[in-house]
Structure 1
Amino acid sequence: MDVPALVPNDPRVEHKFLSVGNFTYHYLLAKPEGERKDVVILIHGWPDLGMGWRYQVPYLVSLGFEVIVPDMLGYGQTSAPESPEEYSVKNVISHVAAIIRSRSDQPVILGGHDWGAAIVWATAKYYPKLVKAAFAFCVPYYPPPPQIISHEKLVELYPLLRYQLTNRDGAVEAAIGDSKEKLKAFINGMFEGLTPEGEPIFEPECGIRADRLPRIGQSPLLDEAIIDFYVQEHSRHGLSYPCNWYRNQERNSIDELAFAKDHPTFKFNIPAMIVMAGNDRFLPPSLADGMENYFTAGLKKEVLDSAHFTLFEKPQESNRCIKEFLESVLGEELQLRA
């Protein structure tokens, strides 16, 4: 059974706001009819929004789950602080912990994609009493290295991440400026739109290709209404703030090193799942090799035949993976509610 995806201003979700310290978070809240089975919190990545989970939210609700989807720091109607330090992983997961506590007095199920996946693993690591189970798309868990890793060193180790240096250094916001036309082209290109010659807007080795912006065609993954919604939401703050997530590599590395020193044999003791995208040009499935060694309660691994934005390139397959994982967590077969 297909469940229609969310659309802008969808009546099936409520728009909620939560004060977290000095910041305000906007999130979507969707509730099932009758008693909820559990709470699922879904975390998006770059340059996505909470609406990136639009195929998953109604589906999970139809299975009996309450679903919470925040726009992360710097995105949409959530606060966008100036200082890049505010976007460190350790800061952001403290915000996620506050969202969890505001909605549930029991551990929740966390799901993430891209940067959201990194936040899921970190939240489960630093706040284990708040997380019942975790699943992620496209970004696996990595144990902390034994030394501080600069961004340049990270790119040396993983050359496909070289685009992160240009994201960090301002190339994206410089290319887009205040132009909604360029922003629309950027959104189309980031979600698999191509030039007439078949060229992408974004490359692993160099990041954004500003010269291709005028020639980028319509995204095959997003319809015009969703594209317009993304342009509207990214226009609230501009792209500099989402790019702040890339300006904390050394700070995040220092925090991870401190955790590793205090927890030298750390492993997760919750059920977990990693879903990689077989055609991801930036994060190949091989990056998840050996990840199972850090999960004592078992790690479910899947590879889908998609590019990076598998949640809406392959929504049915993504939902199948999530459903099967949740069945394994809950120990019961989940049926769609009429």
Structure 2
Amino acid sequence: MSDQTIFPSDSKVNNKSVDALTPNDTRVEHKFKSFGDITYHYILAKPQGKPISTVLLTHGWPDLHFGWRYQVPYLVSLGFQVIVPDMLGYGQTSAPDAPEEYSFPKMTAQIVAIVKDHTDQPIILGGHDWGAFFAWRLVNYYPELIRAVFSLCVPYAPPSPVKHSLEDMVKRMPNFTYQLQLASGVAENLIDKSPERLRGFLNGVFGGRTPEGGYVFKVSEGVIEENLEKIGPSPLLSQEEIDFYVQEFSRHGMHGPCNWYRSPGPRGDDEQELAKKTDGKIRVPAMLVMAEKDAALPPHMADGQEKYFEEGLRKELVSGSSHWVQVQFPVIVNDYIRDFIKSVLGDEFKAAL
């Protein structure tokens, strides 16, 4: 895509009439769980009566539990209990300095412990961006815990038996060039210099523009310093919502979120160990929703995915959407999620309606 941004200038926004959580919404409970020096914050939303099942939603970079604000009320209205954490490094969750703390074996074990505090039954799992990669790995590590999984914007990649560097990955996939800047420490230093820069970055990464139409972030570069203090309001966030994002990202700054790019993650020893233990197949029902105008994760990345899924893979494409598909087109995404869950639960779902 020519402009190389995750929110193209011709993107439409279709979220005005959808029920969404507010920053201090009384419909959710705020919970905390500690693992030694690390504490997670998460929200818990419950339906009236006994839940049909539990849905866990995981967010990506640079987001919060609040990124799922259009999905939580809808899923609760269908009869589901919903758990949404601030992932490690974000919001009220701890943000350890060491990249090693952001390993998938550690983080998946922590999130599983949170889930088990609220249900002893298999769950429905959904993720977006890094949260989607996390969701795929959660299925790899804990297949018995997952009844079904859906990913927004991120195709599945089986664990690699071969180590490779971030530089190697970028050579193969230039659409990930921005990750070099995020892993280097440059981006966080640019953003964390002032509250005004943080606000400009968050407005810009969620679609705000300079008066001349410039971007704050491009997949071919990363964060664009000269635009950080020129960015106007985001079309995806109200004033109350952007204030909330600024408040939450002010707690720790951007070092923790950028640690997801510094951690060996999908490229290190953990992946090699996991590859020895699994054939890489996903054996639960799965859905992959791609966004037509996502420059970082273009739809063609989903080509050929079916070979990894023993229970079949439902693939959907949201036309006209940027990377923030669940915020920009929540009705479409919510309908896809509902229909997918209905196809998995069958009579259990119908009986609850």
- Contact 1:149 / 1:250 at 8 angstroms: preserved in 2? no
Q: How many residues in Structure 1 have an aligned counterpart in Structure 2?
A: 336
The whole-number CA distance in structure 1 between the counterparts of 2:68 and 2:169 is 29
- Contact 2:288 / 2:316 at 8 angstroms: preserved in 1? yes
Using the size of structure 1 for normalisation, the TM-score is 0.95
- Contact 2:282 / 2:309 at 8 angstroms: preserved in 1? yes
The reply on whether 1:271 has 2:285 as its aligned counterpart is yes
Counterpart for residue 335 of structure 2? 320
Secondary structure in structure 2 of the residue aligned to 1:78? coil
Name which of structure 1's ranges 192-201 and 163-172 shifts more when overlaid on structure 2.
192-201
The whole-number CA distance in structure 1 between the counterparts of 2:277 and 2:265 is 19
The whole-number CA distance in structure 2 between the counterparts of 1:332 and 1:193 is 44
Matches within 5 A, 1:1-338: 4-249=19-264, 252-263=267-278, 265-305=279-319, 306-332=321-347
The whole-number CA distance in structure 2 between the counterparts of 1:251 and 1:278 is 25
Higher relative contact order (CA 8 A, sep 6+): 2
The whole-number CA distance in structure 2 between the counterparts of 1:228 and 1:100 is 29
- Contact 1:196 / 1:215 at 8 angstroms: preserved in 2? yes
Alpha-carbon distance change, 332 to 222 in structure 1, aligned in 2, over 3 angstroms: farther
Residue 85 (structure 1) shift: 0.6
Secondary structure in structure 2 of the residue aligned to 1:48? coil
Could you give the per-residue CA deviations for residues 183-239 of structure 1, whole angstroms, max 9, x where no partner exists? 111000010111222222111111000111122111111111000000000000111
The whole-number CA distance in structure 1 between the counterparts of 2:119 and 2:267 is 28
- Contact 1:150 / 1:250 at 8 angstroms: preserved in 2? no
Name which of structure 1's ranges 160-169 and 198-207 shifts more when overlaid on structure 2.
198-207
Gaps of 5+ in 2: 1-16
Name which of structure 1's ranges 18-27 and 231-240 shifts more when overlaid on structure 2.
18-27
Secondary structure in structure 2 of the residue aligned to 1:215? coil
- Contact 2:20 / 2:70 at 8 angstroms: preserved in 1? yes
Secondary structure in structure 2 of the residue aligned to 1:279? coil
Using the size of structure 2 for normalisation, the TM-score is 0.91
Residue 26 (structure 1) shift: 0.5
The whole-number CA distance in structure 2 between the counterparts of 1:288 and 1:87 is 26
Gaps of 5+ in 1: none
Secondary structure in structure 1 of the residue aligned to 2:155? coil
Give the % identical residues.
Answer: 53
Letter in 2 for 1:242: P
